[in-house]
Copies of this chain bind each other. A is one copy, B any other.
Amino acid sequence: MIHFREELDEMQSRLLEMAGLVESAIHQSVAALVHRDEQSAKEVLWKEALINQKDIEIDEYATRLLALYQPMARDMRFLTAVIKINGDLERMGDLAVNITQRALSLMRDPPVRPLIDIPQMANLAEEMVRKSLDALVKRDEELARSVLVSDDEVDRLRDAVYKELVAFMQEQSTTIPRAVDLMFIAHNLERIADHATNIAEDVLFLVKGIDVRHHAEVREQTALAKP
């Protein structure tokens, strides 16, 4: 079984490599927005091609390991978790591209105003992605739970961004197309945070064998700081 253990380690390394690419794509998509930086935008588009390639490779590798070995309980859970986490990471790559496309569209016009809470949302979402993968590596239940708590904060920030942008559009109708771009950027960040939450839930399933998806009570218990 030593060989299988090595394969599982290799599997995890590949997933983390994928995650590294996705994290940097998210970071650069926000940099493209904040600094109006076309070079960052180009790098996101280039990285997405790599991410898509890795997505397929990881799926194939995980499926091969499932077929070759006959993994029991925990190893089986790990491999099915890899397939799901891989899917979440790939979707995050797509969302980074969406943010980048909006950022490129915004570069063509003068800046609307300070970006409200969007950079703060981005920081929080990026941190959630990092923590969810960290929780996977360390099989760390507490860290995984902290991601679920942050998700509520991201939702709160998104609501604030929407409200401000609607008020802003109503004041000055010429800004509407740009405000719509910003609204969708906030939406994409919120979805990145959702995917990080999915990963944290998969980690909890892996570590504890309990399924916390759709179980509001678990999330409420962990959300100590909620008003």
Contact = CB atoms under 8 A, between A and B. Distances in A.
A contact face: mostly helix, strand, loop, or mixed: helix
A214 B56 contact: yes
Contacts of A214: 52-53, 55-56
Contacts of A1: none
Interface in A173-227: 173-174, 176-177, 180, 183-184, 187, 211, 213-214
Interface stretch (A12-20, A67-75, A123-131, A137-145): A67-75
Contacts of A67: 70-73, 76
Interface of A: 52-53, 55-56, 59, 62-63, 66-67, 70-73, 76-77, 80, 83-84, 87, 162, 166, 169-170, 173-174, 176-177, 180, 183-184, 187, 211, 213-214
